[in-house]
Each structure stands twice: as C-alpha cells, then as structure tokens.
C-alpha cells in the first residue's frame, strides 16, 4: 500500500458458471459477483461493489469477464491478485488486475464483445464436457447454419432474438459484426461479435442456427424473423452450458 487516495481497478475474471445463478447479485442465490466481492473484502479489508462488462445467466461461463471496482487506497496489484486466487473457489480465477483511470467503466467503456457457443454434435456426449457443451444428437448441416448466420450480420432490430429482461431497454437494435460457424470433428462453434447483445440474444441466435442446421427452419427465414420483431418457436433459447463470454474490447 503506497498512497491513501482512492483508486479504480480493472479486473479480468474467468469462471465456470455451472454452480452459480449468473454474474449479477441476487438476494436468494449464489452468484459470481457475490463470491468475488467477498474475496475482495477478505483480502483488501473493504468490500467494493464490482461492476461487470455484462451479465451472464445461470450456467453460463466466462473466459474473460471484465469488471472494475474502487478502493479507498492503492494496493499492489500482483500480490492482491495472488491473494484473491488463494481465497476464491477453484471455479473462479482472477486472470489480471491493473490500475485503471478514474473514468474507466467495465460496461460503458467496452467497444465490443465476443461470445462463443459450443455444440457437441454426436450421439454420445463425453461426460467431462457435459457442463460446457450443448448436446445436439441430430446431425447439423453447418453450410445451412452459415447461410443463415450471414443474414444476421449487420445492424438490425434483434427484438425477435431476445427475451424479456424485466427491465427497461432503450433499444433492441444491435450491431453484429461477425457470426461465424465452424466445425472440428463433433464440435461446432458459433462465434458472435458485436458492440453489445440483448438479454439471451446469443443463446437465441444459437438456438435458431441449431434449428436451421437440423433442417427444421430454412436459412431464408432469418430475415423474416428479424422483420417480424416477434419471438416464435423458430427461435428457441439454446442451453446455457454451451455459452462462454470470450472477450471484451476497450
């Protein structure tokens, strides 16, 4: 500890979301935010409020969630990170901790995000990846999924690909800069990049692309669904286990 002036910190966190009710604090459920805030209180002697780059739902994972918090004094970042990881449970890890400018905000300062959705497309799901892949037994046609994905790239009203967040949303228009579908053996990955995403939007995009890959919905329906602005059975919400918050850009 070198000064007595307030200091803002930027923290990068990875977590396995299987055992948590999401990122955001909740009154009657264990969340990632709560666990990390308690660890900060143990290590730093004060419990700051964490502000994340975005919320993740129950069972969703993060490779690189970014958050910020303020302390009443400066602390050594390397030593603090090591101490935090010593008291955190093994399914949460601090990957980076740095001082930040006073006006840095984990959510408002973000320029873009990438989520990745992982599918295991085979008859049998290996047990050791059951919490990290959506299991789809029916063969998926990746070429059809790619055709549909191309129609969803760009700036659109994604109301039909979101769920009610039970809070005010200023606009349902979002910019999707990339929606990439790749296959390697039994594993299919959907990578979604954009300026930001609506509540359950990535899981909805994944659910729609899975339906297209199964042959249940033609790829051309992507534009019709966008134009309708109405949620239908053609856009199911894919399971949480396959989703990872992959990267945040600043």
Q: Does residue 16 carry a catalytic annotation?
A: no
Distance of CA 206 to the CA centre of its chain: 13
CA distances in angstroms from 202 to 24, 101, 152, 191, 194, listed in the order given = 18, 31, 12, 9, 10
Asked if residue 18 lies in contact with residue 71, where contact means CB atoms within 8 angstroms, the answer is no
**Torsion angle of C-alpha atoms 111, 171, 144, 191, degrees rounded to 10:** 20
Asked if residue 97 lies in contact with residue 77, where contact means CB atoms within 8 angstroms, the answer is yes
Asked if residue 63 lies in contact with residue 245, where contact means CB atoms within 8 angstroms, the answer is yes
Query: Tell me, what DSSP letter sits at residue 33?
Result: H
Of 158, 174, 138, 181, the closest CA to residue 227 belongs to 158
Catalytic residue among 16, 57, 141, 157: 57
- Beta strands of the chain (E only): which ranges? 7-15, 51-52, 61-71, 92-100, 112-120, 134-135, 154-157, 173-184, 187-194, 243-249
Query: Tell me, what DSSP letter sits at residue 26?
Result: B
State which H helix or E strand residue 223 sits in.
helix 221-228
**Hunting for tokens 């992507």 — which residue is that?**
222
Active site amino acids:
57
């Amino acid at each position: 500890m070198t000064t007595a002036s307030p200091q803002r910190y930027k923290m990068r966190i990875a977590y396995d979301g299987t055992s948590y009710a999401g990122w955001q604090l909740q009154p009657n459920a264990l969340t990632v935010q709560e666990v990390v805030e308690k660890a900060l209180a143990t290590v730093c002697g004060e419990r700051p409020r964490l502000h994340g780059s975005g919320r993740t739902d129950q069972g969703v994972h993060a490779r690189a969630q970014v958050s910020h918090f303020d302390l009443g004094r400066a602390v050594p970042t390397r030593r603090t990170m090591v101490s935090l990881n010593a008291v955190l449970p093994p399914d949460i890890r601090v990957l980076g901790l740095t001082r930040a400018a006073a006006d840095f905000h984990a959510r408002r300062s973000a320029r873009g995000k990438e989520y990745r959705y992982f599918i295991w497309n085979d008859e049998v799901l290996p047990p050791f990846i059951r919490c990290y892949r959506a299991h789809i037994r029916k063969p998926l046609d990746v070429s059809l999924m790619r055709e549909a994905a191309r129609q969803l790239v760009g700036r659109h009203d994604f109301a039909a690909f979101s769920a009610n967040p039970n809070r005010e949303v200023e606009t349902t228009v979002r910019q999707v800069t990339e929606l990439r579908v790749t296959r390697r053996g039994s594993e299919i990955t959907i990578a979604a990049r954009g300026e930001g995403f609506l509540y359950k939007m990535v899981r909805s995009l994944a659910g729609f692309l899975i339906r297209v890959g199964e042959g249940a919905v033609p790829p051309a329906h992507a534009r019709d669904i966008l134009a309708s602005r109405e949620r239908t059975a053609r856009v199911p919400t894919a399971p949480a286990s396959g989703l990872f918050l992959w990267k945040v850009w600043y």
